[in-house]
Amino acid sequence: MFSKKKPTPQIDKDQLELIENAQNRIKQKKRLYIHFVFFLIGAVFLIVANTVLGIGKDFKILGKEWFLFAILAWLFLFVYHLFNVFVTYKFMGKAWEKKQLDKLVAKQQLRIEKLKKGFVKEETLIAQSEVYNEPKPQKEKTNSPKQELTIIVAAAENDAIGKDNKLIWHLSDDLKRFKNLTNGHHIIMGRKTFESFPKPLPNRTHVVITRQDNYKVPEGVIVVNSLEDAIDASKKDLNPFIIGGGEIYKQALLVANKIELTRVHDSFEADTFFPKIDASIWEETSNVSHSRDEKHDYDFSFLTYIRK
């Protein structure tokens, strides 16, 4: 019970590996040396077999004794062996293998870390979505203000909206409605519509769309190169208006939420038209008719459409 245990020598894993490597290396070199000795004896034997014992004396390759080729072939094998022991071992030996393994392990660890992070993110998202699915946060969501993009246009029965970069009619109530609705808002328009104004309209932020790089405008007018940028430039406004013309209406119909249309009940010759309003996409929510009078040459209606 109290007898002393003999201390056993402790060799750690690295030392053991080093010893194994050294033993392997000695074995490799020994095998090479034996190969060399065999090669020397074999070469002498081949020469003696041919020249002294007369084996294959008449057999020649390219006019030379066959043993020369046999020795050369063996020499080639020996050089290959030599190359493996010294050169290949140096570049692709244990140390190289270890380095590659370390690299691979490091890569795998990095991937595992990434996956772990991904899982944590996903878990957080799931947890958050669970929280958001509860009724309270829903309320928070509906409270956040949402931008409403409105197209405002006056179009005839044949969808005509302009000719020679001018409006076709003068309807004072329509202009008043335009003024009231757009007052204080961003008004987005194509370069041609902007040029159809004698000067910018008061109390509205003009956003002009053009493909030109250095398009000059009066101070305060914003110039952009796409409808997307125009909407982005109006993002502070909860209700920016698209005010034309034909090219811009066509593009805006894909993204707008609302159309304020003045339908002029007549047909006109024109060069610019409003696209057909697709009833499967747009729902008419209001329709107010106005008859022709001393101030208005045509019957017209104010219609409102909301995207379904």
Residues that bind ligand NAP (CB under 6 A): 153-154, 161-162, 165-167, 189-193, 196, 209-212, 225-227, 243-248, 251, 272
Give me the residues paired with residue 304 across strands. 260, 286
Structure tokens at 189: 């328009």
Q: Show the tokens assigned to 260.
A: 């304020």
Pick the closer one to ligand NAP by CB: 71 or 222: 222
What are the strands, taking DSSP E only, across the chain? 60-61, 64-65, 150-156, 160-162, 186-190, 205-209, 222-224, 241-242, 258-264, 272-273, 282-290, 300-307
Measured distance CA(42)–CA(36) in Å, rounded: 10
| DSSP state at residue 84 | I
Cα distance between residue 43 and residue 67, in whole Å? 8
Considering beta carbons, is residue 65 or 229 the nearer one to ligand NAP? 229
Rounded to a whole number of angstroms, the minimum distance from the CB of residue 264 to ligand NAP is 9
Least distance between ligand NAP and beta carbon 178 (Å): 8
Nearer to ligand NAP, 251 or 301 (CB): 251
> In the complex, what is the shortest distance from the CB of residue 263 to ligand NAP, in angstroms, rounded to a whole number?
11
CA 229 to chain centre: 20
Q: Rounded to whole angstroms, what are the CA distances from 137 to 19, 121, 124, 130, 146?
A: 67, 20, 16, 10, 17
Q: Which is nearer to ligand NAP, 192 or 290 (CB)?
A: 192
Say if CB 263 and CB 174 are below 8 A apart.
no
CB of 100 to ligand NAP, least distance (A): 54
Shortest approach of ligand NAP to residue 257 CB, angstroms? 18
* Tokens describing residue 118: 């991904």
Strand order in the sheet with 258-264: 222-224, 205-209, 186-190, 241-242, 150-156, 258-264, 300-307, 282-290
CB of 200 to ligand NAP, least distance (A): 14
Least separation in angstroms between residue 268's CB and ligand NAP is 10
Of 174 and 237, the one with the shorter C-beta distance to ligand NAP is: 174
In the bound state with ligand NAP, the residue whose beta carbon lies nearer, of 67 and 204, is 204
208 within 8 A of 189, measured Cβ to Cβ: yes
Which lies closer to ligand NAP via its Cβ, residue 70 or residue 152?
152
CB of 201 vs ligand NAP, minimal distance in Å: 12
- Of 210 and 239, CB closest to ligand NAP: 210
Residues with Cβ within 8 Å of 296's Cβ and at least 6 positions away in sequence, in order, are 171, 172, 173, 290
